Structure 1
């Protein structure tokens, strides 16, 4: 079962596709087939976790590799590109290599399991502002963790300096809107302003390799 951990011995690759709702499941099936037939057999592959957004317009692959060199070798493999050619029919919204820089609370279980509920917040940032954003993320995440349904918050920074994401794990999303409407969580909706552009989607984990 995939695990999120700060300063672990992997790199994280997050690929987010934009998709029409009527093709979302087709895209999920296409990625799963590609992972099963080719990706998981590559040197350095650690895990792949496929998520589909609840609103139907995103599919995310949260993947882990042992090293950036292993991932680059996979990218450069022409036979694998041919095997995954069908994916070229779909639009990539964002694709970056990340490191995990904040994971709280310390005692949280950060296993990625099928059926898990995820809030993924995306921050587009200029390289000169990225580390300041990380500092603020570390400072304000404890406000969000006051929400009783939020299990963990896991901030990632892209190695190219232009993107941060928070992979938030939830027990249930029934009361998620409290995070954006309750005044006590107001700092969460403000700390990044002036440093980054922000958007988010809510996801369900639909596939993991290795499996549970």
Structure 2
């Protein structure tokens, strides 16, 4: 079962596809086919977890590799990439390599499992602002964890300096909605102002390799 932790010695790749709602499941099926027939057999592959957004406009692949060299060999292998030709029928995804920089609570060891409810907040940031945003994420995550429905928060920074991601695991939709409505959580809606552009989506985990 895939896990997320600041102490994991893995390379994390997050790939996000924008998709038309009517084609979301088709895209999911296409990614899974590529994973099961090709990707999982590549040297250095550890895990892949496919998420579908509840609003049906995103599909996200949270992947882990042993080393950056393994991942680069995978994406630069023309024979392997040719087997992903069907993915070319969809919009080009946004893809970055990340490291996990904040994992809270301190004893968090998030296991990605099918059916899990995930809040993915994406922050587009200039490289000179990335680490300041990480500091603020670390500072404000305690406010979010006052909501008992937030089981864990894992902040990632892209190695190219232009993207931060918060992967939050939630117990229920109601708990997340409380975060949006309760005034005491208002600082969470503002801390990135002036540093980054933000958007978020709620996702359900629909597939993991290796399976549970």
**Same fold judged by TM-score > 0.5?**
yes
CA distance in 1, matches of 2:5, 2:38: 26
Where does residue 90 of structure 1 map in the other structure?
Answer: 90
SS state at 2:81 partner: helix
- SS across alignment from 1:175: helix
Give 5+ residue unaligned stretches, structure 2.
Answer: none
Deviation at residue 93 of structure 1 after TM alignment? 4.3
- Contact 1:7–1:101 (CA under 8 A) maintained in structure 2: no
1:177 — aligned with what? 177
**What is aligned with 1:23?**
23
Stretch deviating more after TM superposition (169-178 or 180-189) = 169-178
> Hey, what's the Cα distance between the residues in 2 that align with 1:153 and 1:174?
17
What RMSD in Å do the two structures reach over aligned CA positions? 0.9
* Distance across 1 between alignment mates of 2:70 and 2:48: 14
Separation in 2, partners of 1:58, 1:98: 19
Match of 2:145 in 1: 145
Rounded to whole Å, the distance in 1 between the matches of 2:199 and 2:178 is 17
Partner residue in 2 for 1:168: 168
Deviation at residue 107 of structure 1 after TM alignment: 2.2
Residue 39 of structure 1 corresponds to: 39
C-alpha displacement at 1:91, in angstroms?
Answer: 1.3
What is the CA–CA distance in structure 2 between the aligned matches of 1:92 and 1:179, rounded to whole Å? 32
What SS does the aligned partner of 2:174 have? coil
Aligned to 2:7: 7
**TM-score relative to the length of structure 2:** 0.98
Residue in 2 that maps onto 1:136: 136
- Deviation of 1:14 after TM superposition, in Å, equals 0.3
Q: How many residues align?
A: 212
- Tell me how far 1:92 sits from its aligned partner: 3.2
CA distance, structure 2, for counterparts of residue 208 and residue 144 of structure 1:
27
